[in-house]
Structure 1
Amino acid sequence: MDNRALLLSTAYFAPVHFYTRYLYHSEVYLEQFENFPKQTYRNRCLILGGNGPISLVIPVVKGRGPKILIKDLQISYDENWQRNHWQTIVSAYNSSPYFEYYQDELYPFFESKSKYLLDFNLKIHEQLCDFFEIDNKIRLTEDFEKVPENTFNLRDGISPKLKHNPDTAFQAQPYTQVFSDKYGFMPDLSILDLLFNEGPNAYTILLQSINPNM
């Protein structure tokens, strides 16, 4: 366990790296006062389908100004992205060992409508904590510049934009994926990939995916 607090950005069915770090820190802050950056895990997740990695993106309402605080960012329902996301997830993971085990609790996220992205992601996180049987220890930040002392800042350190992972302690533990025979092991996909493939063992995989000596 790391005695430092951890600062993360919000994420839509966050990648494995997010939850590996989440388990490793006793205090976890989630940024709510940053300006919304495009092309990040804040409104997208990466899963693995039969034709390779698939990025599922939540469309958002564009404001009048160029900068929108993440806490104020609204989800757009102009297109039926919920149905598309769920159908894609079912197609990718219907044959996985634990899809049927989790699908009933996950489906409501693709049926009911949340107004704000941050609220939606927090509801998903709460459900994931229930799956892992862990406490929901997320605390929202009070101000963008006010980062708690002795805090490991990964606010921008878990991102699809990064070619190299700045968190050298995170070392994704391999597990069997639905399409491993076709693509080999693909690390740090959405937590959904780990859950559907490993079920209750996902918790152990997360704990094994960090090397504190690095």
Structure 2
Amino acid sequence: MDNQAILLSTAYLPPIQYISKFLSYNTIWLEAFENFTKQTYRNRTIILGANGPESLVVPVEKGRSKQLVCDLKISYDTNWQHIHWQAIVSAYNSSPFFEFLEADFIPFFQKKYEYLFDYNLQIMQVIFEILEIKPNIKQTLDFEQVEESCLNFREAIHPKPKKAIIDPNFKQNPYSQVFDDKFGFTPNLSILDLLFNCGSESYSKILEYVR
């Protein structure tokens, strides 16, 4: 594709739209020096459970009002890892590819990671291995220190539709989901939803969604 570079925020088990950018752009910059923003994909993901879309939020340690995302520590005051994994199992244990991919993800809900940015990046590397892609990823060394030609998409992909920016380069077609008989097709969920439902077809599915 002709696209050169895009700037993204960090994201926890990100939505399919976010992952599509790693297939669409030659270089992906990950913003490490922005101030952390609450209620975004930086520390939350959305899966589809028996009661509909469900948000899973990684708690972070409270500190000063403005914290660099690269310095943000994960909080373990609650057993959120167990809660998240149980929610994922409940949502996807009957999906076609859950048993094949379960072992790839369960370690992230057993081992304690210190920093959110590093945690998200480690999960992403596993996702890339499953998709069999090797994107060219760079981390920012300072805020806004990227090429002027780089597309700034840090705030564009957002869990709240009113805050999301319309993306003409992403359009998702339906695929089979565990609870689609109950809710119909639910678009742009966590990449987990696509992987567990489509398995080895996930890569080709994502390519269908990019323009």
TM over 0.5: yes
Residue in 2 aligned with 1:181?
Answer: 181
Match for residue 22 of structure 1?
Answer: 22
Q: Contact conserved, 1:45 with 1:56, CA < 8 A, in 2?
A: yes
Cα deviations by residue, 1:28-66 (Å, 9 ceiling, x for unpaired): 000000000000000000000011000000000011x21
- Equivalent-residue separation in structure 1 for 2:91 and 2:160 (angstroms): 24
Unaligned runs of 5+ in 1: none
Question: Which structure 2 residues correspond to residues 140-159 of structure 1 after superposition, within 5 A?
Answer: 140-159=139-158
Look up the equivalent residue of 2:122 and give its one-letter code.
Answer: K
Distance in 2 between residues matched to 1:190 and 1:28, nearest whole Å: 19
- Cα deviation, 1:49-106, whole Å, max 9, x if unaligned, reads 011000000000011x210000000000010000000000000000000000100111
Take 2:10 and 2:208, find their aligned partners in 1: how far apart are those partners? 23
1:105 maps to which residue? Answer: 104
How far is 1:3 from its partner? Answer: 3.0
Counting only pairs closer than 5 Å after superposition, residues 1-214 of structure 1 correspond to structure 2 as 1-63=1-63, 65-163=64-162, 165-211=165-211
Q: Which amino acid aligns with 1:25?
A: Y
Alignment size in residue pairs? 210
TM-score, with structure 2 as normaliser: 0.97
- Aligned-partner SS, 1:198: helix
What is the Cα deviation at residue 146 of structure 1? Answer: 1.5
- Shift, 1:6, TM fit: 0.9
1:86 & 1:138 partners in 2: Cα distance?
28
Q: CA deviation at 1:162?
A: 3.3
Q: Which amino acid aligns with 1:72?
A: D
Question: For 2:143 and 2:161, how far apart are their aligned partners in 1?
Answer: 22
Distance 2:136 2:56 in 1: 26
Q: Which moved more, 1:185-194 or 1:143-152?
A: 143-152
* TM-score for both structures, normalised by structure 1: 0.95
Gaps of 5+ in 2: none
Q: Tell me the C-alpha RMSD between the 2 structures.
A: 1.0
Q: The residue matched to 1:7 in structure 2 has which SS? A: strand
Contact persistence 1:173–1:206 (CA under 8 A): no
Q: For residues 104-152 of structure 1, what are the alpha-carbon distances to aligned partners after superposition, in whole Å with 9 as ceiling and x for unaligned?
A: 1110000001100000000000111110111142210111121323111
Query: What amino acid does structure 1 have at the position aligned with 2:88?
Result: I
